[in-house]
Structure formats: C-alpha cells, structure tokens
Amino acid sequence: MTMNLITGIAAMSIGGIYTLMAFMLPRSSFGDPSRHLVFPIIIGIGMLLLGLAQTILEFGKITAHKGGDKVAIPKTLSQYGKEILLTVIASIGYALIFEHAGYVISTILYLGCILFLINGKKGAVANVIVAVAFSVSVYALFAYALGIQLPSMPFLDI
C-alpha cells in the first residue's frame, strides 16, 4: 500500500464522516432551516470526491506496475511529519483550553507554539510579540468593533 493510497482512503473517510456530521447539524429556527448546512456539506463532499479521485489514480498506478516499485511507508517521522504532528497536538490543546482559558490566552499559547515551531528559538521575541498583538487585536476587533463576544479570560473578565 502506498502513501498516496493511504492518503486517498483517509481523505474519503474524513470527508464522508464530515458530510454525515454536517447533515446532523441542527436546523435553523429562522429563515431557511437548512441554508447554513450548504457550505459544510460542500466541503465534505468535495473532500470525499478528491479522496476518491486520489484513490482511483493510485489504484491505476498500482495495477499498471503490478508489483513493481512500491513505496515503503517510513517507520519514523520526517521533519515535516514531526511538524504536522506537533501542529495537530497544538490544535487539539487549543480546542481543549479555548472555553476555559478564554480567547486571548489560548490563542497566544497556540500561536506561540506554531510560531516557535516554524521560526525556532532565533525569533523568540518576534514570536511572542506577534502572538500577543494578534490575539489582543483580534479580540478587540470582535468585542468592540463588531460587537461579537469571544470567550473571555476567567481571571480578568475581559
């Protein structure tokens, strides 16, 4: 099994589950009851179709070569694999602390992790400045300019 085939199957699986979950979203109580479902369903079906196309193309390559050059799946993670794994872990952590720590703190931590992952220690000061400035400015934009409340910090109540 090649990495492209695994990717296609994974994309089909995720797209299928995402589409099913989109259909399970609650209906709107005002306006068109299913209008807000259209975009998530399009995303899910698109991912499902792209995964199917990837799988079909890869099956075509495999049957054309019949036991020829098979790509071995690496047993260890490459540098990119480690970065992807750390990004997924940081994203899950962000989702878990978002409601409890508030938008500003959780976004500073998440963005700081991602920026340190990309830039390393050499840009530490810039990473911190960007993470704090972005989080505070987006919070201010939503809270004061748009009137949309994001989860507040529990100890400062802002």
Sign of torsion over alpha carbons 80, 81, 86, 87:
positive
Contact (Cβ atoms closer than 8 angstroms) between residue 131 and residue 117: no
Domain enclosing residue 53, as ranges: 3-65
Residue 84 has pLDDT above 90, yes or no: no
Give the predicted TM-score (pTM) of the model.
0.58
- Between CA 132 and CA 77 the distance in angstroms is 31
Token representation of residue 89: 């872990």
- Among 65, 87, 113, identify where a domain stops: 65
Name residue 156's amino acid: L
Residue of 47 and 68 predicted with greater confidence: 47
10 Å CB burial of residue 27 (0-12, 13-18, 19+) is exposed
- Structural domain contains residue 93: yes
Query: pLDDT > 90: what percent of the chain?
Result: 44
Is 126 a domain residue?
A: yes
- 2-17 pLDDT, tens digit per residue, is 788 888 999 999 999 9
Predicted local confidence at residue 106, as pLDDT = 94
Q: How many domains does the chain have?
A: 2
Q: Are residues 45 and 7 in the same domain?
A: yes
CB atoms within 10 A of CB 124: 13
Q: Which residue type, as a one-letter code, is found at position 25?
A: L
